[in-house]
Amino acid sequence: MNADQLIAEYGTLVYAATFLWTFFEGETFVIFAGAAAQQEKLAFLPLLLCAWFGSFAGDQLWFWLGRTQGKRLLAARPGWKPGVERAMAALERYDTWFILSFRFIYGVRNFASFAMGLARIAPLRFAALNFAAAFVWALSFAGFGYVFGHALESAFGDLAGYFHYVMLAVFAVVVGVMVMVGRAKPPAGPSAP
């Protein structure tokens, strides 16, 4: 079964996958989904909404994790510290502009939302700015795929048809690794006085 048949048979699942994918990251997936919408294999508006709300929800979760569990999680995962520090420095320097643009900066999206929760940004302010920025992000990437769909298909040829499978496999591997790492690491106990 190729990607066209997969989309035709399981179209609603593609929208759910878009929501889940964008909950974590998903720029490339959204571009190719936008190209599929341009070829009328998907509907653009539901795709846009799923990408928008998936991106918004993912960043809200990271924000609340930073706000409610930030110090504990950072102590348990010291590898996060450099990313969080970079995000905090950018937030301190650029404030609102950073909140509006962090999702466009590769590699800092989740750390940025987490850092903003740690920084005690007002929840309603973050939610409003995050909501607007998630819309611009989703429209940008889905729109790029939609506008340049034919060019992407020409550039990648038959590979574009298999891209969805590759991205699904990568997603499954990433989730599997996250689950295994989470199970292998013992929870941090209370610190000794």
Are 51 and 141 in contact by the 8 Å Cβ rule? The answer is yes
Q: What is the DSSP string of the chain?
A: --HHHHHHHSHHHHHHHHHHHHHH--HHHHHHHHHHHHTTSS-HHHHHHHHHHHHHHHHHHHHHHHHHHHHHHHHH-GGGHHHHHHHHHHHHHHTHHHHHHGGGSTTTHHHHHHHHHHTT--HHHHHHHHHHHHHHHHHHHHHHHHHTHHHHHHHHTTHHHHHHHHHHHHHHHHHHHHHHHHHHSPPP-PPP-
Question: With bands split at pLDDT 50, 70 and 90, how would you rate the model's confidence at 80?
Answer: confident
Tell me: pLDDT of 100 over 80: yes
Are 51 and 18 in contact by the 8 Å Cβ rule? The answer is yes
Q: Which residue has the higher pLDDT, 25 or 134?
A: 134
- Determine the Cα–Cα distance for residues 85 and 71; give it in Å rounded to an integer: 13
Residue owning tokens 């048979």: 9
User: Which segment of 7-16, 148-157, 168-177 scores lowest on mean pLDDT?
Assistant: 168-177
Tens-place pLDDT, residues 18-53: 899 899 877 888 888 888 888 888 899 999 999 999
Tens-place pLDDT, residues 104-114: 887 677 689 99
Q: Within 13 Å of residue 20, how many CA atoms lie on the same side as its CB?
A: 12
Q: Within 13 Å of residue 70, how many CA atoms lie on the same side as its CB?
A: 23
